Amino acid sequence: MHKLLVGVVALLASTSLAHPTFAQQAVAALEASRVVIAPAQSDLGRTIKSGLSAAYYGARPDTAAHEEAQRLYFLYGERHFEPIWLSEDAVGKVTFSDAADKLIAVFENAEAEGLRPSDYLTPELDMSRLKGDSIALATLETAFTSATMRYAHHIHNGRIRPQSVNELLDIQPKPINEAAILERLVSGEDPVAIFNELQPHHPEFLALRKALASFETDTTKRPTPIGNGPVLRPGGADTRVPAIRERLKVTASTSTSSFYDELTVDAVKMFQEGQGLEVDGIIGPATVAALNGGAATRREDIIANMERWRWMPSDLGDFNVFVNIPEFKLTIQRNGKPEYTTRVVVGTTKNQTPIFSDNIRHVVVNPYWNVPSSIIKGEIAPAVLRNPGYTDAKNMDLLYQGNVVSPWQVDWSQVSTSYFPFKVRQRPGADNALGQIKFLFPNKHDVYLHDTPSKSLFGRSSRAFSHGCVRVENPMEFAGALMANEPNISRASLEGMFGPSERWVNPEHQIPVHLAYFTLRADPDGTLRSYGDVYGHNEALIAAMGLAPTAAPAIIAAVETAPEELAP
């Protein structure tokens, strides 16, 4: 070996990976290109190749180990499998490069980023290997590159695969140009600055990061989070009442009583008003979550919400729709600032709204509701078999091979819930489950934003009642705000289309829409607000990350019930 580091830097430069703008080079999607595996040209290179080949072909496909082994094999293959981090001095002593030493310091400080140092400072990074043979050196070399790329992916995409928490977290990792990152790291650039470019830049992520940094050093005594429990109404009793009374600084002669007295009710109403909640004095999951915000926030909640920000797209769009499911709220954002907000109803815990990002492409006025097969099988088919007049009563059509058929012309003795050959749609009208308008972003989950005739549910504090779609409280106001950039579409023009016929409108500009899940939100001043874990995703992620909860969480274990209704 002769000055290995110098040789590798020259080799990296020969790949033409100049970086005039790292935001374009390192984070942009990799263009499809032919992978070139250059032959090893040294004994150490051949040893590295042998080890990487064994790891690559020995790993089970569709696993994280296989993906990591493949990335390493291709990265080193482009470089004749020569080492990146090892260098040799004039007398033949092999050492880690200065660049590698800087990275070790980054790994040691991983907790400040909500990550685990042990994920990167693995047993394979044993410095005694520097005195070993070529196999020991190759193991050390490739283990360090693996740790470096793992850190880059974790800082950019999070360390937990979303689907491993719940399959409805339909989020794909953002690509990273690993070769460009390595080139900059090897050249001696500040690794902290490089990795910061891969971090989310959203103000709420930065606020969470700041809150994590101050969490351990903050000497303010943190109150114990108020635990989960049944909905508490004025005049009731609950063992949590004294803690709630203490949190709200209510002084009364009955301060130790579990009775939910009038003085405490008034304090709760004032708190609800200040938090933008329904001012009803009822202590449900949303109020408990809000009480557990701010100083009562758990460290693991901060880390879990940082992780979810890493799952989000790097660019949400200058003009976008952001639905936060635990908050039951929709916001139109322009240049990072809220321009319009409204309440929403989301899916039940049984029929959860999926988490993903897409683009609104169509607005449909007077929509038909094409009933999902799951609702047909579970609800409509049994109802029709009991009463063939059910579809007419619900303003619905039975469709067979695309044609409308009368339920009175069907021999129902030949039909069952397991064999129900019909599709079902609900015709436009005042009672249509989608109301008068829907907003489409075609996706495999068949969910969208829409109006609803069931307006009363928007008055609830907890609003998880749908079959998975997102119902909008003020859909025409939302439509007007959504079409703010469309010269030929307005709220008035859409309302002018109201009638018996379905009308499709295609905006000139696709609008990014994000169905997100954050149990902590940060105000512009950095104040954290807490929301209930309606689907349990937060606690599941905390468990997946190996974080031990410090107190009982405020999970919505039992959502308020509403009358059974047929709606998406």
Q: Which residues are catalytic, by number? A: 450, 469
Answer yes or no: are the C-beta atoms of 468 and 568 closer than 8 Å. yes
Helix (H) or strand (E) holding 530: strand 528-530
CA atoms within 13 A on the CB side of 45: 19
Longest dimension (CA), the chain: 95
Which amino acid is present at 332? Answer: I
Give the distance from CA 100 to its chain's centroid: 32
Of 176, 191, 30, nearest to 105 by C-alpha is 191
Q: What is the DSSP string of 237-282?
A: B-TTHHHHHHHTT---TTTT--B--HHHHHHHHHHHHHHT---S--
Give residues with Cβ within 8 angstroms of 83, minimum separation 6. 4, 8, 44, 45, 48, 137, 138, 141
Q: How far apart are CA 51 and CA 291, in angstroms?
A: 54
Q: Are 553 and 236 in contact (CB under 8 A)?
A: no
The helix (run of H) or strand (run of E) holding residue 477 is helix 475-482
Q: Is 219 exposed, middle or buried (0-12, 13-18, 19+ CB in 10 A)?
A: exposed
Q: Which tokens go with 491?
A: 């709220």
Which pair of structure tokens corresponds to residue 175? 């690509």
Q: Dihedral through CA 512, CA 470, CA 468, CA 154, nearest 10? A: 40
Q: How far apart are CA 464 and CA 351, in angstroms?
A: 9
Distance CA 204, CA 209 (A): 9
